Structure 1
Amino acid sequence: MTAKAIVIILAAQRAGVVNPLAERAGVSHKCLAPICGRPLIEWVLDTVTAQPDLADIRIAIEPEAQGEVSALLPQFAERGVPIRFVDSHTGIVDSVTAAAGDDEGPFIITTADNVLLSAEGFEQIRSALSRVDATLALAREADVRAAHSEGQRNFYQFRDGGYANCNIYGLANRKAFVAAEAFREGGQFQKNRDRMIRAFGYFNILLMGLKLVSAPTAIRRVGKRFGITMEATFFADGGLAIDVDNERTYAVCEALLPSRKPVRNN
């Protein structure tokens, strides 16, 4: 019998950084900023709590914000999925590790600004964990642009085309946590080539840079570097590569949400 999944939602802010969207909305954290009538994190919780066979949901966020987020949780209680808080740490990897605790997994990790996350995308990630130790989601450039022309402006280029990262990941077991080390410095690899090389290895980056490998092959090679099995999960819905990072993507998500999810009329 497959173990129930543990969901980790990363909701903390970067240390010492005041998020512009939170500041504009007059709230302490970006995850509390409203979009289409609900705080960002509510949209994520609404999708995740509706999924079957979950052990629990763990929200990694600073202690001072836990009370504000806790006030949003009673509406999800009837769905029967326990939700608890874990004190976030400065880095992504340490926050994920703290949220995982001593459990063996599987873990599905997403972010509190991933408001377009769908049940179908979630289940694709869960399904992949029956085959491999780790997975990350990608969407093809054409599909992202079809969802919205301004949804993403940067794409990873491989032999088989451009791809955008989607903010949902799966770790099947504790062994897979070695892959999380790639994100210890915070991601944003396209903006920092040295960070990419340290995470994935120079030869792998060379192959990708010269477009000598396809996206599936590249991800498998990265897994091999870490001594685990790893594959990309490809989302046909390019909108799943769009989350609320800044004013531009906020506007994109605000435009897309009404056609994808029930929106409150306030």
Structure 2
Amino acid sequence: MTAVTKSENFPNDEQPRKKPLWTTIILAGQRPEGDPMAAYCNVKYKALIPINGQTMLERVTRALLASPDVGNIVIMAQSPEDLQSGLTPDLAGHDSISYVASSDGIATSVHHVIGTDIAPWPVLVTTADNALLTAEILDCFFERHSGQDVAVAVVERKTMLAAYPDARRTWLKFRGGAYSGANLFALHNEAAKPAVAFWSSVEKDRKKGWKIFARFGPWLLLRALSRTISFKGAMSDAGRRMALRAEPIILPIAEAAIDVDKPDDLELVTGILERREG
């Protein structure tokens, strides 16, 4: 058998580089006064709401562990030790999972750890109430990520309504479509840090897209309000003003944009998981 030299496999004598694994931060905290959904379900922490035999935090963690693109997982909350005790033993002591106490603001807490030994680049941020997260959704997101410094997963309204016509979501409306967030945020490198700092300054307005775009000046706000700019165009414009590349990643999976913020959501998610898991 004739040996194949390295240069025949790789003409430039370069070995193929493996993509780095993503560190994932799961935001599992809640307001100091407690969370309405936790109270509704009679549990101390929203992340520990059980759905069809597993807590939401367990579901999100297992989906991440099933992804070949995810490395370490950081669970961030005000009292991470309480969440650790609420996980099954195989997750609570998993080598890939660590726990970090969050400070007053979510974005500030994330800003402190990204790019450090705790959460090395690239970083994916998700939430504990993202109970329908699957390896399939993650695969789709990572496949469509093309090196953007900041990327935000969204689902188009037509995709959602085709699958769940009665679903109520918060929609960001732009030229060409309306979009709902899917609780996946890619922070690819050091260039993403200004976006996280900006997130910290607008955290209280995260459900009001117009207030966020107003921070970038009247022209971008006017175009967003009049829907004369696409979502991708608006994010790209905002990103350029922070000297970074920012884009939405549109997912074709309706369930990606269904989290658990209210009792109706819990009922919908429970029904989906019961059908999915038999």
Q: What TM-score bracket applies, with the shorter chain setting the length?
A: 0.7 to 0.9
**Secondary structure of the corresponding residue to residue 51 of structure 1:** coil
Unaligned runs of 5+ in 1: none
Equivalence for 1:86 = 100
Equivalence for 1:110 = 126
For 2:42 and 2:92, the matched residues in 1 are separated by: 27
Q: So what's the TM-score if we normalise by structure 1?
A: 0.87
Q: Of 208, 218, 221, which aligns to 2:234?
A: 218
Question: Does structure 2 conserve the Cα–Cα contact (< 8 Å) formed by 1:93 and 1:180?
Answer: yes
For 2:204 and 2:248, the matched residues in 1 are separated by: 17
Equivalence for 1:69 = 84
Report whether the alignment pairs 1:31 with 2:47: yes
**How is 1:176-255 mapped onto 2 (pairs within 5 angstroms)?**
176-184=192-200, 185-186=202-203, 188-191=205-208, 193-198=210-215, 200-255=216-271
For 2:109 and 2:74, the matched residues in 1 are separated by: 11
Matched positions, count: 258
Equivalence for 1:9 = 26
Q: Of 50, 58, 76, which aligns to 1:42?
A: 58
Q: So what's the TM-score if we normalise by structure 2?
A: 0.84
**Secondary structure of the corresponding residue to residue 57 of structure 2:** helix
Equivalence for 2:11 = none
For 2:97 and 2:68, the matched residues in 1 are separated by: 14
- Alignment RMSD, CA only? 2.3
Equivalence for 1:140 = 156
Give the counterpart letter for 1:7 in structure 2.
Answer: T
Question: Does structure 1 conserve the Cα–Cα contact (< 8 Å) formed by 2:85 and 2:92?
Answer: no
Unaligned runs of 5+ in 2: 1-16
Offset of residue 183 of structure 1: 2.2
Offset of residue 205 of structure 1: 1.9
- From the superposition, tell whether residues 252 and 202 of structure 1 become closer, same or farther in structure 2 (CA, over 3 Å): farther
For 1:86 and 1:101, the matched residues in 2 are separated by: 15
Moved more, 234-243 or 45-54: 45-54
Larger Rg: 2
- From the superposition, tell whether residues 248 and 218 of structure 1 become closer, same or farther in structure 2 (CA, over 3 Å): same
Offset of residue 187 of structure 1: 5.4
For 1:189 and 1:41, the matched residues in 2 are separated by: 22
Offset of residue 39 of structure 1: 1.1
For 1:56 and 1:176, the matched residues in 2 are separated by: 19
